[in-house]
Amino acid sequence: MPIPDFQSLMLPLLRLAGDRQEHAFRAAVDVLAEQFSLTEQERHEPIPSGPQPVFTNRVGWARTYMVKAGLLRPSRRAHFEITELGLQVLNQKPGRINIAFLKQFPGFTEFQKGSPGKSEKDDQGIAVQEHTPEEAIEAAHQLLVAELADELLATVKGCSPTFFERLVVDLLVKMGYGGTLRDAAEAIGRPGDEGIDGIIKEDRLGLDVVYVQAKRWEGTVGRPAIQSFVGALHGQHARKGVFITTSDFAQTARDYARTIDSKIVLIDGKTLARLMIDYDIGVAAVATYELKRVDTDYFAEG
């Protein structure tokens, strides 16, 4: 089954604590994973921004939200227990505890003023699902990156062939190919049909070489172009190549590249833009945010 959203974990977590015993957070995660019949893969699926599992992250935020509402309280490090208010809520036998339910508690409404989550509502207008703060930040980040990639690719398509040549050189060197900028520029700095062709070092020592072809195309790159590229590669006695385009590759071209003996990497426009973002080519950071959590190792005694 899909990993439950963190609101769906609130009532099961409160019921778990309803025995009035102190509960270790890690043990609670395991119990809830069993209740929801999660597979090992689902239990350990990491959040995009770090190594913590999605399910553990969501249980943690379910606990945090109910602590803020006063239904649970931390008892000691990584442990929690139910409060009298939490017991009263359980005695009401609610069918579901979610954001809308918690809004009746002053402590939660005060906390929610700074919450970045975005709610989705059912037919009755009740919030039924909300991203955890980390998931909301990650989703916003991915949206911003996608918009940046589109803008970056449009800018690249408007560049001159000479500038595009330099851009590709900069990217390949930043990725660890071509040796120095001067080495790479000398190796592949031969202007062609709105692109560049040449051979660069695969590593700084030049133990192997990679044939490069880059084209600012608007139309889809078909199989014939890749076949021609492979022929040029063989003419240079090379078995590795990178074909870069600002457009896209036809499926027949991708299929052909996978079936030949030579190792050919196809980089389309979207991938090119993402690589430029990843390696800081043509982009500049405007803001940096750090997500921090308690370092439990620091507080370990004995």
Q: How confident is the model over 269-299, as pLDDT tens digits?
A: 999 999 999 999 999 887 777 777 777 677 7
Per residue in 157-181, pLDDT (tens digit) is 888 887 887 888 888 888 887 666 6
The domain that contains 240 carries what CATH number?
3.40.1340.10
| C-alpha count within 13 angstroms, C-beta hemisphere, residue 159 | 21
159 and 86 fall within a common domain: no
The domain that contains 18 carries what CATH number?
1.10.10
H/E segment holding residue 81:
strand 79-82
Q: Percentage helix, strand, coil, to 5, in the chain?
A: 50, 15, 35
Q: Contact at 8 Å (CB) between 22 and 79?
A: yes
Give how many domains the chain has, as a whole number: 2
pLDDT at 228: 87
**Three-state DSSP class for residue 64:** helix
Q: Identify the band that residue 302 occupies on the pLDDT scale cut at 50, 70 and 90.
A: low
Per residue in 41-80, pLDDT (tens digit) is 999 998 876 778 999 989 998 998 999 899 999 888 789 9
For 116-239, strand residue ranges (E) read 119-121, 127-130, 195-201, 209-215
Domain limits for position 183 = 152-278
